[in-house]
Chain A
């Protein structure tokens, strides 16, 4: 029947074949035409922004625009000894201009990222250069700079300036991976602190704990839902879906009310004389994990339920009536049958929790922070957009890999929405 069937095509005449092909192409074009508006829309609204973010991670023209003359003078400099006075004079002039146009702060910020402590050196020096004439600076700027701050005698600050001046840089990626370039340009582990790798590890670990908690809580619930009498099951299903439909912020608010020092949990425990002193639960890793388990549990229950619903209850009965112990019957018969739902739910919960922001931001305190929170921190607080972009890119790669696995084994369109 179908035009795509080669057996059917063979019986057609040449002319009919061409017509059929044309018809097929027409149908294809029609189907595509329906999808194209959305594709274009998403390209503008969603894909291009993410592309811009990726680009931001390697492109940083700020310093090159602020002190072009100094950078040009630094081009020949090898980076082993202090640069000569000509470079310093140029810098003195550049700093003066920046102080006058109130841009010295921007330069200080950028250099400080490559050499912590440089910010105050640059700002206070620029403040001094502001009062000098161009003439004086061109001739004796080098001395003035050396007098202004003794840290200009350190070769590190000059390396930092040269490095920050690169328009295209892998520096942010190195930082995001806790690496740096040493004086010879080789990549090595950053000496100061291992922050981001640790944070990625912690984020993955927390996501794993959350996924496991969801599984532990979700499995028996889904099982009971799938096997309960339909009236009970309906009621229970509503109780599962109500939190699912309730605003995320409402659920997070609820956990703040429950877990705070004087909150419902602490006052109940104290009234029952179980504890004498309130326990600090809010603003910890614990509160992040429990609140996120609560929020993501329905994503686990729904796919599990729909798989379990399809398993014939007589399967377990048959195994047991043939003498299998309940536990071994469960492990060898029931569990394998629920694996599709289990993996779908677990993957989805894991994917969502790895990139979570809101709940850790509100209930996580300092030790419950995840990678998203640090990205937000660099976007909003430290204004280090390049680093935020590279941390985001790494997270994106991780998520897309997980999504590919999900799509490959489960199918993206099989996400359960209730």
Chain B
């Protein structure tokens, strides 16, 4: 039945090739997704290990438990880590998004001098290896007593989040019809008013997705935290890192499962944003 849809010149080998391609694509997807899925059932392990027990495979309800989730709630270190991750993430995102959006607007102007060089510089925190950044920050921030402080981590994470904001906002701005801005100006609105009434709503999806990237960057970052944070500033990834190095127990898997849930939510939010922004762009096209 499928055969009818292939072009006439297709031989048996063509069709076999197509199937092989399809199979390999799904196998790669399987490779991508399986490791993440494996974590979820393991986090309900009643035993203190990282492997499936006989009981789990036989679906014995006794072999499953919520003890590791309870372990998170009862452990002061994890609770502090969760609080810190959000606290640092939120402030780093605010700084990165504010400064990054302004800069992206400046950069998308045709009159911007040294555009390419500045762009390359602003995006470099994404490229330079974290170990180099972390080592440098350790030397430099210590001089200003910023090591072992929330402020130091917030500044560091804001710097790491900047490239993502720049990329997403410039991408939105490249689709942005500049005449709308001048129209606003010519109607007598002040540049600032025009900015907030016209530009902001149009670039909002880009700004929000940039902010989300910046937040996730901070939320997931561990190398700089390892070098800069004191015990009071431990974050979720830091806690996971030392757990994986020192005492592997399924609490880490429980945390990992929760983080997977968080990333699913982020992914959904991003997808909604993308659709909305496409819709806006669509409107833009019809008005032109």
Decide: B133 and A46 in contact? CB cutoff 8 A.
yes
Task: Choose, from B65-73, B155-163, B278-286, the stretch at the interface.
Answer: B155-163
Residue of B nearest to A24 (CB): B111
**Is A39 a contact of B118 with CB atoms below 8 Å?**
yes
Whether, in the assembled complex, B28 has its beta carbon less than 8 Å from a beta carbon of chain A, the answer is yes
Q: Which residues of B contact A9 (CB under 8 A)?
A: none
Q: A356 touching B259 by the CB < 8 A rule?
A: no
Residues in B with CB closer than 8 Å to A32 are 106, 112-113
Q: Does A231 sit at the interface, judged by CB under 8 A?
A: no
A245 in contact with B263 (CB, 8 Å)? yes
Most chain A Cβ neighbours within 10 Å, of B9, B50, B213, B264: B50
The answer to whether the Cβ of B202 comes within 8 Å of any Cβ in the partner chain is no
The residue that B130 contacts in the complex, of A242, A263, A355, A385, with Cβ under 8 A, is A355
Check A417/B29 contact, CB under 8 A, given A48-B140, A321-B9, A358-B241: no
Q: Determine the distance from Cα of A48 to Cα of B140 in the docked complex, in whole angstroms.
A: 7
Which one of A320, A351, A355, A357 lies within 8 Å of B9 (CB-CB)? Answer: A320
A371-391: which have CB < 8 Å to B? 372, 375-376, 379, 385, 388-389
Q: Scoring A residues 35 to 60 as 1 if CB is less than 8 Å from chain B, else 0, what string do you get?
A: 10111011011101111110010000
In contact, B36 and A250 (Cβ under 8 angstroms): yes
Which of B21, B122, B241 sits near A223, CB closer than 8 Å? B21
Q: Is the CB of A317 within 8 A of B7?
A: yes
B residues 236-271 touching A (CB-CB < 8 Å): 237, 240-241, 244-245, 248, 252-253, 256, 259-260, 263-264, 266-267, 270-271
Q: How far apart are the CA atoms of A125 and B21 in the complex, in Å?
A: 72
Q: Kindly list chain A residues whose C-beta atoms are within 8 Å of the C-beta of B248.
A: 256
Are A28 and B135 within 8 A (Cβ)? no
- Look across to chain A and name the residue whose beta carbon is closest to the beta carbon of B152: A45
Q: Which residues of chain A are near B105, meaning CB under 8 Å?
A: 34
Name the B residues within 8 Å of A217 (CB-CB): 28, 31
* The residue from A39, A48, A355 contacting B132, defined by CB atoms under 8 A apart: A355
Complexed CA–CA distance, A395 and B132 (Å) = 8
* Cross-chain contact of A407 among B39, B100, B120, B135 (Cβ < 8 A): B120
With A31-B106, A263-B51 known to touch, is A399 a contact of B129 (CB < 8 Å)? yes
0/1 string, A137-160, CB within 8 A of B gives 1: 000000000000000000000000
Q: Tell me whether B103 and A38 are in contact (CB under 8 A).
A: yes
Assess the B131–A247 pair: CB atoms within 8 A. no
A403 within 8 A of B: yes
Answer whether residue A163 sits at the interface, using C-beta atoms and an 8 A cutoff. Answer: no
Interface presence of B208 (CB below 8 A): no
Say yes or no for A18: interface residue by CB 8 A criterion: no
Minimum CB–CB distance for B177 against chain A, Å = 16
Interface size on A, residues (CB 8 A): 93
* Minimal Cβ-Cβ distance residue in A for B130: A357
Partner of A242, one of B33, B122, B141: B33
**Once the chains are docked, how many angstroms separate the CA of A297 from the CA of B28?**
10
Q: How far is the CA of A240 from the CA of B263 in the complex (A)?
A: 13
Give chain A nearest CB distance to B12 CB in angstroms: 12
A26 to B99, CA, bound (A): 21
| Least Cβ–Cβ distance between A84 and chain B, in angstroms | 39
B111 and A27 contacting across the interface, CB-CB below 8 Å: yes
A250–B13 alpha-carbon span in the complex (Å):
41
Is there an interface contact between A27 and B109, defined as CB atoms closer than 8 Å? Answer: yes
Interface string of B52-95 (1 = CB under 8 A from A): 10000000000000000000000000000000000000000001
A394 to B248, alpha carbons, bound, how many Å?
A: 35
- A241 interfacial contact with B, CB 8 Å: yes
Q: Is A103's CB within 8 Å of the partner chain B?
A: no
B25 on the A face (CB < 8 A): yes
Query: Within the assembled complex, what's the spacing in Å between the Cα atoms of A49 and B155?
Result: 12
In angstroms, how far is the closest chain B Cβ from the Cβ of A352? 8
- Selected contact of A239 from candidates B32, B52, B127, CB within 8 Å: B32
Name the one of A243, A248, A267, A355 contacting B131, with C-beta atoms under 8 angstroms: A355
Q: How many Å from the CB of B221 to the closest CB on chain A?
A: 9
| Residue in B39, B52, B140, B266 whose beta carbon sits within 8 Å of that of A49 in the complex | B140
Decide: A257 and B259 in contact? CB cutoff 8 A: no
Q: Quick one: given A31-B111, A35-B112, A49-B141, are A243 and B32 in contact (CB under 8 Å)?
A: yes
CB atoms of A417 and B260 under 8 A apart = no
Centre residue among A35, A258, A354 by max chain B CB count within 10 A: A35
Least distance between A289 CB and chain B CB atoms (Å): 13
A415 within 8 A of B: yes
CB distance from A299 to the nearest CB of B (A): 11
A42 to B245 CA separation, bound complex (whole angstroms): 32
Contact B36 A240 (CB under 8 A): no
Residues of B within 8 A of A241 (CB): 267
A-B contact pairs, 20 of them (CB 8 A): A30-B106, A34-B109, A37-B99, A39-B103, A39-B118, A46-B124, A49-B136, A224-B21, A245-B266, A247-B219, A254-B256, A263-B50, A297-B28, A320-B7, A355-B129, A372-B131, A385-B139, A403-B127, A412-B120, A413-B166
Interface residues of B (CB under 8 A from A): 7, 9, 13-14, 17, 21-22, 24-25, 28-29, 31-33, 35-36, 38-39, 42, 49-52, 95, 99-100, 102-103, 105-107, 109-113, 116, 118-133, 135-141, 143, 155-156, 158-159, 162, 164, 166-168, 170, 213, 216, 219-220, 222-223, 227, 237, 240-241, 244-245, 248, 252-253, 256, 259-260, 263-264, 266-267, 270-271
Q: What are the 10 closest A-B residue pairs judged by CB atoms, nearest first? A: A355-B129, A34-B106, A49-B136, A224-B25, A254-B35, A49-B140, A53-B136, A38-B103, A31-B109, A45-B159
